[in-house]
Structure 1
Amino acid sequence: MEHRGLDTDGCFEREGSLGQVPGAFAAVVAAARGRIRDAYGRRLHSAYLYGSVPRGTARPGRSDLDLLLALHHEPAGEDRDAAEVLARGLDEDFPEVDGVGILLYGKDTLLSEAERFDLGWFLACLCTPLLGADLAEHLPRYRPDSLLARETNGDLADVLPRWRRRLREASTPDEHRRLCRLFSRHLVRTGFTLVMPRWGGWTSDLTESAEVFGGYYPQRADQMRAAAAAALDPVADPAVLRAYVEDLGPWLADEYTARHGTKTPRVAGGGRT
C-alpha cells in the first residue's frame, strides 16, 4: 500500500532534505546560508528551505528558491529590508534560480497556538532545516484531517478580493506571469487540501495534486490540471487570471467552506501569503 507521504502511524513525514538538493542549486543554497548568517547575526533563531529545491525537483533557471527565517523577536522594518536585499542579491547572483522568496517570522509566532495548524504545520512538515536549532522539535505530529485543511487553506474567500485588486493593477506581461504563478499554485494547493482528508495523504507535487483533486471533482478536473500546468509554466494571459478570480476561485472557496469551515481569524495578520 502506498504511504502517500505518511508514516506507519498515519502522520506526516517531513518532506525534503539537504541531501536531496540538486547539484545545480548547491552553490546558491550555500550562499544563502552564509548571507543569512551575515545579514541577521544573533537576531536569527533558525532558517529553513522549502519547495522544490529541498524536494529535489527544482529545474535550473525555472524554479525559485524559497526560504523561511525565524527570528528571536518579531520582524521589524530593518529585518524586512534585510530580507529584500538578501532575496534580490541571491536572485541576481545565481541564474539557476528564477526568483527568491523569503518568509520572515518571530519564533514565538511560529510556535503559537494560533499558528499550530498553519505555520507550525508548515515548518514541521514542509520545511528543511538550514541553520540553527529546529523549531519542529517543539511542535506536534500532524495528520491529514479536516482541522488541518481548514487552518491551512480555509481563507480563500478572504484572499480573492486581494487577487482581484492585484489583477486590476497589473499591466505588463511580466506582472501577469507573476500573478499567474501565484494564483495557480494557491488554487491547486487549496484544491488538494480540500480533498486531502478523503484521500488520506499528502503531496506537494502540483501535477499530482490536480489529479487527486480531479478524482473527487471530475467536473472541475480540467480546470485544475490547467492551473497546475500554469503554475509550472506561467502564462501572461489576463483571461486566465480572470477565470481564476471569477469562476474557479469563488467555486472553490464556497466548496471549501461547506466542507471544512473557515480559517480561524488571526488577531494581527499571521499565516502564509
Structure 2
Amino acid sequence: MTTIKEIGSLCLTDSDGYIINHADWNKINPIFLAVINDVVHTYRTLLQDDLHSIYIRGSIPKGIGIEGVADLDTIAVTKHKPKKQQVKRIKEVEQALTQNHDCVDGIELSVFGKEDILNTTSFSIISFILQTHSICVFGEDLIPRLPRYKANEALANDHLIHLQGQIKNACDDLQDNSDREDIKDCCKWIMKIIVRAGLALVITKENTYTRDLYPAYKRFSEYFPDKESDMRRALEYAITPIIDTNVLLLFLNEFGTWMISEADKWLQFYNPTRELNMKIV
C-alpha cells in the first residue's frame, strides 16, 4: 500500500488575491544542484544560440523536493518558435538524463517560444507556471514581464476543458500496451491531471490553488466526500504508478467518466462557449 505523506501547501496570495511565487534558488537542496547543472548544459548544447532562458518549477525550487521521489520539471524558452527537430531531440534525452541522476524520480524537459510565453491577453498555463511556481536558472528572466494570476475561473478552466481529451489519450495509450515504463509514465501523468482537476472543480468556492497533490486531494474531498476514496486512489497511483492496464482502464472508465461529467457541469456554468483560454481577470 502506498504511504501518502501529508506534504505540500496551498498557494499564498497577496492582499489583492494574486498568487505569490515562493520558489527560490536559496531553498533548493544542494543534492539537486548537479542534475540542475546537467539540465542547463543539455539545453545549451541542444538549443545553442536560439536558447533564451531556462526555468525550473515544482517541489525542488520550493524546497520540499524529496530525494529520489521528486521530479525535476524544467522549461526552456527559445528566441524563435521551436522547431519540431529541437522538440523531438529534447524529449529523446529525458530518459538518459534521469538514469544519470538517482536524486530525482524523473526529469521533464520542455521548450516554448518566447513570443508564445509573452502573449498574455488570455490565460496561458505555461506563463502561469512560470509566474507562480518557477525560478529562472539561466538567461534573461521573463517572469517580471508576465501578468499576475489569481485562483479563479480562467485557471480552473485550463484544468477542466482538456480533461476529457486527456483521459481519452491515456486510455488509448494504455490499451494493449506492454511497455512497463510507458505504462508507469502514463499512469503518473493522468493521475496527476485528475487530482489537480479535482481541485479545479472547487477553485471558485475555495479561491485557492496548489499544484501539490495532497492538499488538492484534501480540498476536493471536502466537497465530494462520497468520492474521497476514488480521488485517494488517483493520488496513490500518481505517487506510486502501477502497471496493471486492466485496473487502470477500469478506474479511468469509472471515476474518470464521473470526473468528465463534473467538468462538463462546471464548463456549462462558467464557460458555456468552451473558450480554450479564458481572458485573464
Give the TM-score normalised by structure 2: 0.85
Structure 2 SS opposite 1:70: strand
Q: After superposition, give the CA deviation of every residue in 1:78-112 in whole Å (9 maximum; x if it has no partner).
A: 31244135424422321212222112111111222
Q: After superposition, give the CA deviation of every residue in 1:41-87 in whole Å (9 maximum; x if it has no partner).
A: 22011111112222222222233221111111111133124413542
For the 8 Å contact 2:55–2:138, the answer to whether it is kept is yes
Distance 1:92 1:4 in 2: 32
Distance 1:265 1:204 in 2: 20
Alpha carbons of structure 1 residues 135 and 74: separation in structure 2 relative to 1, 3 Å: same
**Displacement of 1:4:** 4.4
Question: What pairs with 1:1-273 in structure 2 (closer than 5 Å)?
Answer: 4-113=11-120, 116-260=123-267, 261=271, 264-265=275-276
Kindly provide the amino acid, as one letter, of the partner of residue 152 in structure 2: D
Distance 2:216 2:276 in 1: 26
**Displacement of 1:175:** 3.1
Distance 2:112 2:122 in 1: 11
Distance 2:82 2:107 in 1: 19
Structure 2 SS opposite 1:52: coil
Distance 1:113 1:169 in 2: 41
Q: After superposition, give the CA deviation of every residue in 1:103-158 in whole Å (9 maximum; x if it has no partner).
A: 21111112224763422212211222111222222221111111221134321112
For the 8 Å contact 2:77–2:113, the answer to whether it is kept is yes
Alpha carbons of structure 1 residues 27 and 147: separation in structure 2 relative to 1, 3 Å: same
For the 8 Å contact 1:4–1:202, the answer to whether it is kept is yes
Alpha carbons of structure 1 residues 124 and 169: separation in structure 2 relative to 1, 3 Å: farther
Q: After superposition, give the CA deviation of every residue in 1:153-195 in whole Å (9 maximum; x if it has no partner).
A: 3211122221121011422433332222111111001111221
For the 8 Å contact 2:10–2:209, the answer to whether it is kept is no
Moved more, 256-265 or 87-96: 256-265
Alpha carbons of structure 1 residues 172 and 108: separation in structure 2 relative to 1, 3 Å: same
Distance 2:100 2:10 in 1: 39
Kindly provide the amino acid, as one letter, of the partner of residue 28 in structure 2: V
Alpha carbons of structure 1 residues 99 and 115: separation in structure 2 relative to 1, 3 Å: farther
Q: Please, which runs of 5 or more residues in structure 1 have no aligned partner?
A: 267-273
Q: Residue 269 of structure 1 aligns with which residue?
A: none
Alpha carbons of structure 1 residues 169 and 131: separation in structure 2 relative to 1, 3 Å: farther
Distance 2:170 2:100 in 1: 30
Structure 1 SS opposite 2:175: helix
For the 8 Å contact 2:11–2:20, the answer to whether it is kept is no
For the 8 Å contact 1:46–1:71, the answer to whether it is kept is yes
Kindly provide the amino acid, as one letter, of the partner of residue 213 in structure 2: L
Structure 1 SS opposite 2:61: helix
Alpha carbons of structure 1 residues 34 and 143: separation in structure 2 relative to 1, 3 Å: same
Number of matched residues? Answer: 265
Alpha carbons of structure 1 residues 14 and 4: separation in structure 2 relative to 1, 3 Å: closer
Q: Percent identity?
A: 24
Moved more, 208-217 or 121-130: 121-130
Q: Residue 270 of structure 1 aligns with which residue?
A: none
Give the TM-score normalised by structure 1: 0.87
Structure 2 SS opposite 1:151: helix
